[in-house]
Structure formats: structure tokens, C-alpha cells
Structure 1
Amino acid sequence: MMENMEQLSSFTLERQDSGIAQLKIDVVSETMNVLKAEFLDEISNVLNEIKSDSTIKGLVVYSGKSNSFVAGADITMLDKCETAEQAAEIASSGQMIFNQIEQLKIPVVAAINGPCLGGGLELAMACHMRVASDAGNTVLGLPEVQLGLLPGSGGTQRLPKLVGLQKSLDMMLTGKQLRPKQALKSGLVDDVVPRSILLEAATKLALSGKKKRKTKLPFIEKALQSNPWGRKLVFDQATKTVKGKTKGNYPAPLKIIDSIRAGFEKGTAKGLAVEAKHFGDLVQTNESAQLRNIFFATTEMKKESGVEGVNAEPVDRIGVLGGGLMGGGIAYVSSNNAKVPVRIKDINHTGISNALKYSFDLLNKKVKRRFMLKTQMQKQMNMVTGTLDYSGFSDVDMVIEAVFEDLSLKQSMVNDIEENCKQGVIFASNTSSLPINQIAANAKHPENVIGLHYFSPVDKMPLAEIIAHDKTSDQTIATTVAFAKRQGKTPIVVKDKAGFYVNRILAPYVNEAANILLSGEPIDKIDSCMVKFGFPVGPIKLLDEVGIDIGAKISPILEAELGERFKAPEAFNKLIADNRKGKKTNKGFYLYKGKGANGKAVDESVYQLLNIQANGRLSSEDIAQRTVLLMVNEAVRCLDEGIIRNPRDGDIGAIFGIGFPPFLGGPFRYLDSLGAQTVVDRLTGYQQQYGEHFAPCDALCKMAENNETCY
């Protein structure tokens, strides 16, 4: 029985006969609970009410949303901050509220179901105890670092006390999320129960009273954490690792370390003050602004259907043609993420075995890490089947083709699918460069043919390019976009032209890196320079990873369709003649064979093969600008030609598809930060020095003349 129920706009206090009150969080007009600055007064009022009511013996904090506890803070409020001090004030206010919760004399228990992230976890950690549901969507974490921020409402101070110094550093520096059992093992939660008894278990815990808690740590970790020398060792190692990974491009991780250190060395009050100050400073950085832009862009894109006003048709079964790496990856994301049965066709049993092994290896890792039961894995594996003919294809709603780049082969597959599958089946080609209109040239129903271009490895890379040719129906576009989202992808709809968007902007970048290599710059210097610039791997290493032969196949297609500027250096034919295809053949620019050869050391014999004297005269700045500005120039061309719909799609495509440095915001935001005139001037200088492929495109020159920006 509940009495004296009082409704606050997003918070409801429910008193119960047991003496345990329940505080329900249900943010009005939001699908998930998010914390907003305007809630401060409401929460303060409810806390004052709890303090003044002696009949309340304990408090359970829970969510009125079925899909989340609290998914974080509303980060739009940070854009309104004009100074670091204003942002720091938001953090301090959150700290003050959570301190009040922690200081309540009655036991406070958080009942967690669904995502409990960022400010949501900071709220839960301010409670005295935590119970989590074992639901599949329950995760706990502090992902602020991914937005260029740190946990600003006490997270840097409370997490180490619950899970220990090393675990808390790992969680905060990576944004890693824990599942319920991991959270229990680490000491972040006190119990994990079925969702059906979550409130009951939390109430029972509140009735049992406050408990003196001890952090459960292994002996060595405890020894390191408990003395200043041990802590110094941990902090120094974390700092070294961060600097190695971020190359100085991301300020948030070092500020996180500093905030935690302040708490250990000078006490929690000082730690909170340092945390709030750092939070305010980080909000004002360009890096955080760009990372927040990416967050807003992807949130917007999740709401888009690809074609306004057109609803997707259901996709309940799919077929995959080709059991190679791409086919195996597509089968995995379709069965595991989109939860649909998959039928793979290949010309031999080896291809099917390889595709099944792709799923098995990934699922087996989950079993070993105890994310998944073996029975669940077996059930999942049963969703993927193979065939050497078209048996089992008669009822699929979509067929995704992932065979090698051969136009006549892909055209014959369109015909096969039209003959062997039901009316209206979508044929989606995972081609990386062949125009879709050519693949659909002989189709009886070209309206059902579309491009669906994934990036390797499919299970990790978040982007998918959806390529509609001039006869693709709106219904096919909307259905393909919706299915790509179900697979866990962020789809961008692009126009049908050779290379589409991502490979088209990547080709000039890689070709110029090759030109720089042929001019005598060492391979490792070029790669380390671009990694320092912010790319996950350098362009030469990327060729090894993707396959030098793939690049050799794509370049002529791009050159034939788009012109001379896409011509790859002739010298690269020598690599193919020497059977250097990269990592997959253990022979490329780097060493993969022999003792200690793990792809990190350069294969010096490449220099001899290409007749290069490696001397390294160029500056890092020159190498970065020559490669990246060609990519920017091509991106502007793509926007001008309508290949991409807007700069936002172009930025997300470059970041998610090829790892363009996220802290720079993508090629269009990077262009805005430099200024169009600056980019035109630099390209013109390079044009005079290195050749016509550097000529700034007309659209970029027009932007410079009119002093225009992309955003």
C-alpha cells in the first residue's frame, strides 16, 4: 500500500508501510532518463522532505522507465556554457546533490535496470548500496571520456573507493561498461537479481541497514593502492599509457588521472574541487566540442529513415552470397545484432566453414569471458546455415552479396537471385567501388538493387554506406537503412558514383602517402606521423591491413570513372608482381613472417624492390597536410556533386569509415577550423610543387571567395 504520493515533474516519492520510501525517476517527455540542470531544485526539495520525515527508515531509488535507470546527463546543457566557470558550476551542483544523498542518515539503495551510465552511475554510487537486474540491457559505466570530458559529479572520487584504483582508471580512461555480473565481481554493485524481484530485493537491502563496506581487491593491487609509492607507480604507468595512445590529442584522460590522484593525496573534498575545475576546462576545449558534435550527429541519424515519409518493409530472413571475411562478418552482425536467420551461399564448403568459424570465434570469446552461456551460443550458431546452391533462398527478404570485385559476376548474381528468390527481394551489393547502376544494368527489377557497403572488420566498423542508383525505389532505400541500423551500423545514404564517398576520399590520401614513400620518406615515419595526427593506423599500414591487391583493383576503376587525379603510382605494380598483398599473405610493407615478426617492423626489402633510398627529409607537418588536404578537397567535391547529402554525413562517414581523427570533427569541420582560404592557399602551393592532382576544386575556391563555412 502507498500513501501520501507527491508528484514532482520527474521525481515521485512513494512512502510505503514498511518504512522504506521509493523515489521514482521518470523524466517527462524523454524516452530514457537523463539528468538535467533544472532538476536541482526538485531533487533538493525531495531530499529535504526525506530528511524531515522521521517515518522514512530507508530509501530505494529506481527508474519509472522500463528501458533505463539513468542513461547519463543531458549534454545539450553544456553547449549553453560560455565559460569554463559556468561548466564547473554544473559539476559542483551535481556533486552537492549527490553528497546530500550520500550523507542521508537512512540507508539508500539504487535499484538498477537498464543502462546506468555517466551521471546515472554517479547517482547510483552516491547511494549506500546498489542492486542490479540481470537484464541483457543492464550496463554500468562512466563513458564521459568518449565526449572529451570526465565524470564531473563525484565519479572520479567514488568509483576508486568501490572498485579500486586500477579498475576505476581502466573504466574511466576507456569508457568501458560493465555487465551486471562483472559489476558484482568488481564490487560496483552488492547484488544481481532477476528484474521481476528488483524492487523487492532493493527494499530488503534497505531494511537490513547501512553496511560498512570493504573494497575487494587482490593482494598486490591492495598493496599498491594502500601506499603513496604504489599509487605513484600506478598513476605514472597510467599516464605513460595514455600519452602513448592519445599522442597528446585528447586532454580528458590526463585530467581524469589528475582528479583521482588529488582525491587520494589531498582528500575527497579537494578531489571534488579538482574534478569540477577540470570538468569546466574540458567542456570549453575544441576536442570535447567536436566529440559532442559527433554524438549529436549520430543521435540525429538514428532518427532518420533514409527517405522521409517512407516506412521500411520487415526483413525477417536474409541470404549472404560469399563466405569470405566480409560475408562471414555480415552473417555475424545479421544473426547476432539484427537477430535474423542467415543463409550463406558459397561455391565450396571451405567458404561456408570460414563464414561459420567467423561467428563461432566471436561468440566463443563471449562464452570464455562469461558474457554468454554455451547454450545461448549454440542457439545463436543455429541461426546461420550454409548451402552450395540456392536452396533455402526462396523466402529471404534481402540478399547481401559479398563476392570479389568483378562486374560480370555481380550482374549474373542479380539474375540468379531474381530467378531463385521471391518477388520483391532486395539485392544489396557490398561492392567497394563498382557503380550500382552497372551491377543493376541487366536486372528485371532494378528498383530492388542497392549498394550496402560495409567496412572491414564488419563486426567492429560502425559505418555502412547505402548506395541508391537512379532506379532504386524509396522503399528499398528505407528498408536497407532500417536493416543496417538493426545490424548495429550507422548508415549514410550516398549517391551512386565510383568509389561512393569513403573510398573516394580515401584513395587520394593513400596515393599521396605512396608518392611520399617513393620520394624517399621511410615507411614507419609516414605511418607514425599520421598516427600522431590522429588516425588509428598510418596509410601504408592500412594498405597492408586491407590488402595491397584490393587497392590495385580499386584504383583503375576510380581513375576510369573520375579522372587522372586517382592514378595510383606505377611502382606499386612491382608489389603485386612480388606477391606482396599485405597481412593476408604475410608479405607486405611490414614483416609478418619469422621470429618476432608481428607487423610492427618494416620489411626493409621493400625499399630495394621499389628502388627507394629512404632518407626522410620532409617535416611531419608536410606529410600530414599533403595527405589530409587531398582528402578534404575530395570530400568537398563529393558534397558539391551530391554524393553525400550534407557535411554532417561526410564527417560521420570519414570518422566511422576510415578513422578520420574524431577530435578534429571530420573533414568538413576540420576545413571550417582551418578556413577555406587557408586550405586553397596550401593546396595551390602543393599544386605548384607536386602536380595538378593538388588543384583545389571549384566548390572549395568558391567557398574561399565568399568566406563560407560548411556548418
Structure 2
Amino acid sequence: MSVDNTPVLTPDAPAAAPPPVTAFHFALRPDGVGVITLDVPGEKMNTLKSEFAEQLAQVLKQAQAQPGLVGLVIFSGKPDSFIAGADISMIAACHSAGEASRLAKKGQMAMAQIAGFPVPVAAAINGACLGGGLELALACHYRVCSLEEKTVLGLPEVQLGLLPGSGGTQRLPRLVGVGQALEMILTGRHLRARQALKIGLVDEAVPRAILLESAAALVKRGWRSSRPLPWQARLMGGPLGKTLLFSLVRKKTLAKTHGNYPAPERVLEVVRKGLDEGSSSGYAAEARAFGELAMTPESAALRSLFFASTALKKAPGSAAEPANVARVGVLGGGLMGGGIACVTATRAGLPVRLKDISQAGIGHALRTTWETLGKQVARKRITAARRSRQMQLITGTTTYQGFGQVDLVIEAVFEDLALKQQMVAEVEQHAAPHTIFASNTSSLPIAQIAAQAQRPQQVIGLHYFSPVDKMPLVEVIPHAGTDARTLATTVRLAQQQGKTAIVVADRAGFYVNRILAPYINEAARCLLEGEPIDHIDRALVKFGFPVGPIRLLDEVGIDVGTKIIPVLVRELGPRFAAPEAFDAVLKDGRKGRKNRSGFYLYPARGKADKPDPSLYALLGVTPRAALTDAQLAERCVMMMLNEAVRCLDEQVIRSARDGDIGAVFGIGFPPFLGGPFRYLDRLGAAEAVNRLRALEGRYGERFAPCGRLVSMAEAQQPFYPAEP
């Protein structure tokens, strides 16, 4: 007999309050193992929220009340993730270090409830187990993970200018050893299942089909004595060994961060505190450091980049519905074409038809993908069988055979306008009427590439950065006649390739190269004034760039890097002109790393870290450092900032957000500064104008602040609205 418990409402009776929505659900199995399933309603992935602490306490209380309970398994109700981390928006809601510290303490207390549970608790991990998710798993007595490719474990908080705040800095060193724990926390590196098993982070790594049963079997065995710590901990050698380890790690960390990121120093401090004074002191130090780091401008900048890139990965290119892309064509098997074919097949999972003028070009492109996948096989990220399946997605031809079935063609041939126009004509002849033509050009106007097209509305720019498989950014460039559906379709393909796409206007240099050119030109002028090559590069690396401007020119190719300059000068004026003396470098046949002749020496063995002294004689320069690191950085960076504001004013970029992402992801603008516009807001527009005018007075009108920046300074207006 069924009973209807639905309450009967009368006009005078108030409606019953709906039951609270909970993310945790408990079920007791016949064998006495309780299963707590975490399934955040309405979300694709589980993320931990502040209110979950009370829900977790309630479900643990419910479990503990069960007679005959022998153990607990914490499991995810999401098919492809365990817990992707904590909800970062909780930090944005904190207005003081104290508030953020209390948030951390709340997380610590929740994890302590798991760690102190009276029967064994195991985490059954499938998919992403990151940040707060791994801290929850660390609080469990056992961890079992699946061997799925999507299963990764890590503590990436340092990448947001933070440290693990729910006990991770204390539990991880005691589980895997101090050296391994510091490496994980300081880099934010993700570990695959077998890597995690090897270092003792998990107890078992099993096929997904038996994950839950394996975790249940572990807790049914009861308590076990802890395994000895790995060799990293055993060889610490007492106080002297500990001091040496932390000293070496600190030195290595500072060599990478140059002191620009406060989080790594605090990680070392907090981990050391816990080891020296015990867990209680360590947890207190962790919560305090978490709160203080959350209020730093570096963390705010890094979190803004996280939110911006997350939004852009989902943002549509236009309001139109994108067309379905089932097959992609690529023209050109060189470095760029091979890289584009690789990410299309391996990340988007789409069949690629590659055309080159020779079999050698096709072979080069296939080799690019084979070598890229080979590294993943060697690291056990994918199987050899999967590599074979992905390789089968790429086929090659020296004709247009098969192009009648492709929905979008990406052209990656030489930067020659006539050649690219020829490619458009040939694709329109051999492909389907709906096929989109996307040009991977770094400098040529898209409107000119489309000028002779029969279907110019289906021509668009798609500018990748080298190396394609590593650089996260792509610029999508519609010309005035590109239709909305072409734009939407191209942006979605870029997202499927794993790229962060920004839509930019069809203007000379687009966005990234336009702001890069004056930066490198200014470095060139500093060199011609006598500043040593390595001094210039060190100054900008110290400022926060991954490589200096002179070395960057060597890496991308001096001939390639300077090719865009005439285009910029013709379209935008003489402020983009490179110093005439620099022509001697190209005339001397120097192209940089690719022909082992550039600004640096390229020995047969070892790193190319010494400038070529013959370069100074070629330029008629006697090297002598006259400017400080800060002065060198200011000259180069202020040129970039001024140009970025012009791009925003001219609507080359859609927003300050897109400008920041483009600079950070495209040329390595220091992430801890958040991008050109976040950095300008930190300086204040008035201060930026003052600095530019001082430089203008000393070095010339190229430093004159643009009108948009001056007007913002006068109005005391920021690029980003103040957060409430």
C-alpha cells in the first residue's frame, strides 16, 4: 500500500519550506560500508563551497549513527571528476585577511572531522582531484584512484597566488615526504594515477569499473600501520638535512620567481613551521598565510586571469549559432601547419586532411604529431594504442583530394599575400560551398586575403602562436565582411582545440604583435645605446617576463619578428619603425636560433646563454650598462602599455579583459600583474601618464601618452570597475 505524504494546502496554511538542497548523500551497503556521494546540484563538476562544511558534518553524523558501520567511502556522483577544487569566488567575497583565514580554518575543521572519524575512510577518486578536493582526499585514511586519463591529482593553489588552506601543507609532507610535497605544492603540478601511486599519494590505482569495490575492500580490512615515508623524507638527515633541503628549494624557487610571487615563500615557511613545531602550529600558520595571501594584489591578479580565461573558454564568438565542423583541412605541413593539425586531431578529436606541395612536408607534419604524442606515451599519460588511433585522424595529400568533405580549412602557408589569395581561390574551387577559410596570418590584413574571394563572408583570420601545442592563445580576426556564423564556428573550433580565443579587429598587427613590436623596438634602442644584450634580457625577466625581448627575437626568428614592422609603419605610423642600424643584423644573415646565428651564441652543447660579442661590433656599439634593471624594464613595458590602451580605444580588442588575456597568454606578460590593464589600474592612469611624459622628455615623442590614457587619468577612471 502506498501512502501519499503530500501536504494538503488550505488558503490559510502557509506553504512548507522546501527541503535544503544538499550535495552529500549517504547510503549504507549490506556489507557495512557506508558510501558518501558528493554531487553538487546543477554543476558539471564538484567544487567545494563554504556551506558544504555543515552538510559534511551532518552526513558524517548520519553515517556514524549507523549500527554495524565498518568503514566509509567518499565517492563522486559526477562521471568525470572527483572534486575539481574549491569555489574560488568564496575568496573574492572576503574583504580582509581575517575573513579569508576564517574560511581556511573552516575547511581545516571539516577535513579534521574526516581524519578523526572512528572507522576507516577511503576516497574513491575518478577524474580531477585538485586543490580542496585533494585536501579532502588527504584527510581520508586511504585513497584509491582510477587509471582513467582524466584522473589527475594536484594542489594548484600557488598558481592563484595562494597556498593549500585546508590542511594540505601539513598532511602532504607527512604522506609523501617533504621534498616531493614541496615540489607538488610549489609548482601546482598534476600527477597521473601511476605517478601518484609511485610516490605513495594513493594506496591503489585500479580500473574505473572496480574503483568503488576496491575502496570498499580497503576500509573493510580495517586499520593498517602507516607505510614508511618515501626516500625523500628518510634522507632528510635531521635538522641539518632539513635546513639544507629548504635552502636548496628556496634558492631554486627564487631563481624562477625572482621574488615576484609571495606564495612560494609562504609555502616554505608554513611547511617548515609544521615540521619544526608540530601540526597544530602548522595548521594555524597555514590559515594565517592563506588569509594574508588572499589579500595580495598578486593573488587578485592571478585569480582575475583564471576567471577571465574560464569565461573565454566558453564565450561564443558571436550571437549566431555555430555550424557543425566534422572535418578540418590544413594547408601547409611546416611548423605551424603541423602543430595545427596536431591539436585539431589530438584535442578536438577531429579528422584532419593535410595538404602540402610535397610528401616531405606531409611527413614533417605527421612526425610533429607522432613526437608530441610520443612524449605523452613516455610519461604514461596515454597508451600506445591511443596514439595510433589519434595518428589515424591525420591523412595527407599533395592535391585537394578529400577537401570536398571538409567544413573548415586552416591555411598555414608563407606570409605572402598573393599566395594566400591563391589558396582562397583553390579552396573555393575544390571544397564545399559552406567551407570556411581561416588564415593563420600574423600580419596580413584579412580583408586583403578575402579581396578576390567568391565567398568573402566565409573568410576569417585564425592566428596561432608557436609552438602551437604549447601556446594557449589564438586570435580570431573577422574582416568587415565576415558573417556572424563564420565567426561563431571558428571560435568554437579554437575552443575545441584547447585554445583560449580572443576576437580582435582586422587592423595591422592585430593585437598581440601590435603591442609586442614597440616593446622589442625599445629593447633594440637600448642595445644601440650600449646596454649589454644579457643586461636587457635579465632586466625584463626580473620584471616578470619568461624571456627577455632580445632572446625572444632570437627564438621566434629575427627575420620573422621584423617582417611585421613595415606593415605596422605603413598602417599606423613612424612610431613603429625599428632603428635603422638594426638592418645590419638581417643583412648579416642572422635569423636567430633556427640558423644558429643571432644575438646569442649557439654552442654544439650546452645552453645558448651568452651573447655573441661580434654583434656589438656589427652594430658599432661598445657595451656598457648605464641603466638600472628598473629603468630598462620601464622603457620597454611603458611602450607596450601605451599601445595596449590605443588598441582598446580603437576597438582592436573587445575589452580590457581580452587585452589582458592576449598579453599574458600570447607573449608572457607577467601573470602576477594580471595583464597590461590590471597593471595600469594598479599603477593608476595618472601615474602611468606621468611616467610616459617623463620618458617622452628624455627619449622623444614615441613615449607620448595616448589620448585615452590621458582622459582616464584626468577622470581618475580605472579600466576595471571597483569590486563591491
Q: Which TM-score band applies after superposition, normalised by the shorter structure?
A: over 0.9
Provide the rounded CA distance (Å) in 2 between the counterparts of 1:668 and 1:362. Answer: 35
Provide the rounded CA distance (Å) in 2 between the counterparts of 1:424 and 1:234. Answer: 61
Provide the rounded CA distance (Å) in 2 between the counterparts of 1:402 and 1:433. Answer: 13
Moved more, 387-396 or 632-641: 387-396
Q: Summarize deviations over 1:327-350 as a string: whole Å, max 9, x none.
A: 111111111101112122122222
Moved more, 363-372 or 399-408: 363-372
Give the corresponding residue for 2:140: 127
Using the TM superposition, give the Cα deviation of residue 524 of structure 1 relative to its aligned residue in structure 2, in angstroms: 0.4
1:337-352 matches, within 5 Å, as: 337-352=347-362
Q: Summarize deviations over 1:277-313 as a string: whole Å, max 9, x none.
A: 11111101110010011111112222211112x2211
Which of residues 121, 125, 130 is equivalent to 1:112? 125
Letter in 2 for 1:695: A
| TM superposition score normalised by structure 1 | 0.97
Moved more, 401-410 or 369-378: 369-378
Using the TM superposition, give the Cα deviation of residue 224 of structure 1 relative to its aligned residue in structure 2, in angstroms: 2.1
Kept in 2, the 8 Å contact 1:161–1:215? The answer is: no
Give the corresponding residue for 2:250: 239
Which of residues 69, 74, 78 is equivalent to 1:56? 69
1:12-23 matches, within 5 Å, as: 12-23=25-36
Q: Matched residue pairs, number?
A: 702
Secondary structure, counterpart of 2:504 in structure 1: strand
Using the TM superposition, give the Cα deviation of residue 316 of structure 1 relative to its aligned residue in structure 2, in angstroms: 1.5
Kept in 2, the 8 Å contact 1:462–1:657? The answer is: yes
Using the TM superposition, give the Cα deviation of residue 52 of structure 1 relative to its aligned residue in structure 2, in angstroms: 3.8
2:702 aligned with 1:693: yes
2:292 aligned with 1:297: no
Provide the rounded CA distance (Å) in 2 between the counterparts of 1:530 and 1:680. Answer: 21
Give the corresponding residue for 2:692: 683
Give the corresponding residue for 2:368: 358
Give the corresponding residue for 2:291: 280
Secondary structure, counterpart of 1:495 in structure 2: coil
Structure 1 vs Structure 2 CA RMSD: 1.4
2:665 aligned with 1:652: no
Kept in 1, the 8 Å contact 2:149–2:381? The answer is: no
Kept in 2, the 8 Å contact 1:8–1:42? The answer is: no
| TM superposition score normalised by structure 2 | 0.95
Kept in 2, the 8 Å contact 1:223–1:230? The answer is: no
Provide the rounded CA distance (Å) in 1 between the counterparts of 2:229 and 2:403. Answer: 54
2:268 aligned with 1:257: yes
Give the corresponding residue for 1:579: 589
Letter in 1 for 2:351: P
Provide the rounded CA distance (Å) in 2 between the counterparts of 1:324 and 1:528. Answer: 32
2:633 aligned with 1:624: yes
Provide the rounded CA distance (Å) in 2 between the counterparts of 1:652 and 1:440. Answer: 28
Which of residues 497, 521, 544 is equivalent to 1:511? 521
Give the corresponding residue for 1:3: none
Which of residues 318, 322, 340 is equivalent to 1:330? 340
Give the corresponding residue for 1:39: 52
Secondary structure, counterpart of 2:513 in structure 1: helix
Using the TM superposition, give the Cα deviation of residue 215 of structure 1 relative to its aligned residue in structure 2, in angstroms: 4.0
Give the corresponding residue for 1:709: 718
Q: CA, structure 1 residues 7+695, in 2 after alignment: closer, same or farther (shift >3 Å)?
A: closer
Letter in 1 for 2:650: E
Using the TM superposition, give the Cα deviation of residue 28 of structure 1 relative to its aligned residue in structure 2, in angstroms: 2.1
1:456-475 matches, within 5 Å, as: 456-475=466-485
Provide the rounded CA distance (Å) in 1 between the counterparts of 2:515 and 2:228. Answer: 51
Provide the rounded CA distance (Å) in 1 between the counterparts of 2:263 and 2:235. Answer: 24
Kept in 1, the 8 Å contact 2:176–2:200? The answer is: yes
Kept in 2, the 8 Å contact 1:164–1:215? The answer is: no
Using the TM superposition, give the Cα deviation of residue 114 of structure 1 relative to its aligned residue in structure 2, in angstroms: 1.2
Give the corresponding residue for 1:609: 618
Provide the rounded CA distance (Å) in 2 between the counterparts of 1:297 and 1:359. Answer: 30
Any unmatched runs of 5+ in structure 2? 1-18
2:535 aligned with 1:525: yes
2:202 aligned with 1:204: no
Provide the rounded CA distance (Å) in 2 between the counterparts of 1:638 and 1:127. Answer: 51
4+ residue runs over 4 A deviation:
none
Give the corresponding residue for 1:590: 600
Letter in 1 for 2:259: G
Kept in 2, the 8 Å contact 1:224–1:231? The answer is: no
1:346-425 matches, within 5 Å, as: 346-425=356-435
Moved more, 569-578 or 241-250: 569-578
Give the corresponding residue for 2:108: 95
Using the TM superposition, give the Cα deviation of residue 86 of structure 1 relative to its aligned residue in structure 2, in angstroms: 1.4
Secondary structure, counterpart of 1:477 in structure 2: helix
Using the TM superposition, give the Cα deviation of residue 223 of structure 1 relative to its aligned residue in structure 2, in angstroms: 3.7
Provide the rounded CA distance (Å) in 1 between the counterparts of 2:454 and 2:72. Answer: 66
Kept in 2, the 8 Å contact 1:150–1:256? The answer is: yes
Q: Summarize deviations over 1:458-492 as a string: whole Å, max 9, x none.
A: 11110000000011111111111000011110000
Using the TM superposition, give the Cα deviation of residue 216 of structure 1 relative to its aligned residue in structure 2, in angstroms: 5.5
Kept in 1, the 8 Å contact 2:179–2:233? The answer is: no
Kept in 2, the 8 Å contact 1:315–1:398? The answer is: yes
1:147-162 matches, within 5 Å, as: 147-162=160-175
Which of residues 478, 486, 506 is equivalent to 1:496? 506
Give the corresponding residue for 2:438: 428
Which of residues 168, 179, 189 is equivalent to 1:166? 179
Kept in 1, the 8 Å contact 2:446–2:506? The answer is: yes
Provide the rounded CA distance (Å) in 2 between the counterparts of 1:10 and 1:641. Answer: 47
Q: CA, structure 1 residues 556+181, in 2 after alignment: closer, same or farther (shift >3 Å)?
A: same
Letter in 2 for 1:118: G
Moved more, 310-319 or 496-505: 310-319
Using the TM superposition, give the Cα deviation of residue 145 of structure 1 relative to its aligned residue in structure 2, in angstroms: 0.5
Letter in 2 for 1:337: R
Kept in 2, the 8 Å contact 1:163–1:215? The answer is: no
Q: Summarize deviations over 1:117-136 as a string: whole Å, max 9, x none.
A: 00000001111111112222
Which of residues 477, 489, 496 is equivalent to 2:487? 477
Kept in 2, the 8 Å contact 1:117–1:140? The answer is: yes
Q: CA, structure 1 residues 38+183, in 2 after alignment: closer, same or farther (shift >3 Å)?
A: same
2:451 aligned with 1:438: no
Moved more, 270-279 or 379-388: 379-388
Kept in 1, the 8 Å contact 2:154–2:188? The answer is: yes
Q: Summarize deviations over 1:123-152 as a string: whole Å, max 9, x none.
A: 011111111122221111100010000011
Using the TM superposition, give the Cα deviation of residue 423 of structure 1 relative to its aligned residue in structure 2, in angstroms: 1.1
Kept in 1, the 8 Å contact 2:149–2:382? The answer is: no
Secondary structure, counterpart of 2:462 in structure 1: strand
